[in-house]
Amino acid sequence: MTQSRSTVRRRRPTRLSRRALSAGVASLIGVIVLAAGASAYTLAPSRSDDGAVRAAATLTPPTPSHRPGRHHATRPVTPSATTTVAPAPSPSMSATTSYSPTTTPAGGSPAVTPTPSASPDPLSKPYKGVANSSCSDMDRLSVSWFYNWTTTTDCPGHGFVPMVAGKSEKTEAAVRSAIDRIAQAGYRSVLGFNEPNKADQANLSVQQVVSMWPALSSNPAVAVGSPATSADTAGQAWFSSFMDQVAAKNLRVDFIAVHWYGWNAGSCDASASQLESYLNWVQSKAGGRPIWITEWGCMNQSNPSQTSVSAFYQGAVKMLARHQQVERYAWYPWNTNNNLVAGDGTLTEIGKAFAQARSTS
């Protein structure tokens, strides 16, 4: 600020006291120090909380040549009106919205809010995925997560979710060991027991799974998905019995994993009405928990052509948008006319539709 000149009257010099002389020397030193630091600090107006520029100036440090990355706000995993600021976690981590029981689960730990996985948009969550695929194909298909029926992967950075499938994990000790390895690797979600009602899959009774569930849910930092049964009558009966035991024993189940396949002619219609009917049944059993569709597609007489399966998929995506409880899905690309990539490496008709569908929620 420029000051106006004024006439200064000369005064007769007076003898300075020792105290005044010391104060003058201190002031002179302060001026020198401030001048020396002027190259490192600049004057900048400060801003009040409402955005108004204050009249007073404050010293601000210079911008460093290498600015550290900013921490983006992450969408809260549990319903909340506030947004928290946290560092972006490792891309290998994956999480779901946590379902918190009202009391501490018997034999396990209470559900906690896991750390969300990293994704291109820090405010988004994984949504579109595949039941395994090659690393390069997942890039082209724009998936945000995947699984491969095991606890490890050689495709880091694609939102891998491990599974304790139950084919080799038949004891509480084996399950607990698997969960310990999963947690140590930094994963924050796990899929539990693949089609236990099927003899050629996990092949476990409800009682066996319930006895091992405290081990599966032993780490409070890992969100646990329910066993995923087949969508036939036997699978529905198994799942209903399991959920009854979950309620009776207050077991921790953070999200529901389900499978569905069209079978008869017309069951994979363009409006996905039969899939929606099954989802409505699952929602009636889920107790408000998030739902992951971890296998789905069209088999047998329901998939006469790539065109019909593609129409079903696109109709299903629109239908799923009406079901906010569905948190993720993973397409199963290993059946006839369900494949996303052709033998020559190009995307199929349904592969192109899949790649264009939204990847995150």
Token digits of residue 66: 């290498």
| Runs of H (alpha helix) within the chain | 18-37, 135-141, 172-184, 206-216, 233-249, 273-286, 306-320, 349-356
In this structure, the number of other CB atoms found within 10 A of the CB of residue 237 comes to 13
Pick the closest to residue 163 from 36, 292, 288, 35 (CA basis). Answer: 292
The pLDDT of residue 124: 81
Class of domain 87-356: alpha beta
Q: Helix %, strand %, coil % for the chain, to 5? A: 30, 20, 50
In degrees and rounded to multiples of 5, residue 216 shows phi and psi of -65, -35
- How is the chain split into domains, by residue range? 87-356
The pLDDT of residue 211: 98
Q: Judge contact between 202 and 230, C-beta under 8 A.
A: no
- Give the pLDDT means over successive 10-residue stretches in the chain (361 positions): 36 40 43 37 33 32 29 28 31 43 37 36 82 96 98 95 97 98 98 98 98 98 98 98 98 98 98 98 98 98 98 98 98 98 97 98 92
Q: How long a stretch of residues is the chain? A: 361
Measured CA to CA, the distance from residue 79 to residue 207 in angstroms comes to 33
The pLDDT of residue 8: 33
pTM equals 0.69
CA angle 214, 215, 217 (to 5 degrees): 65
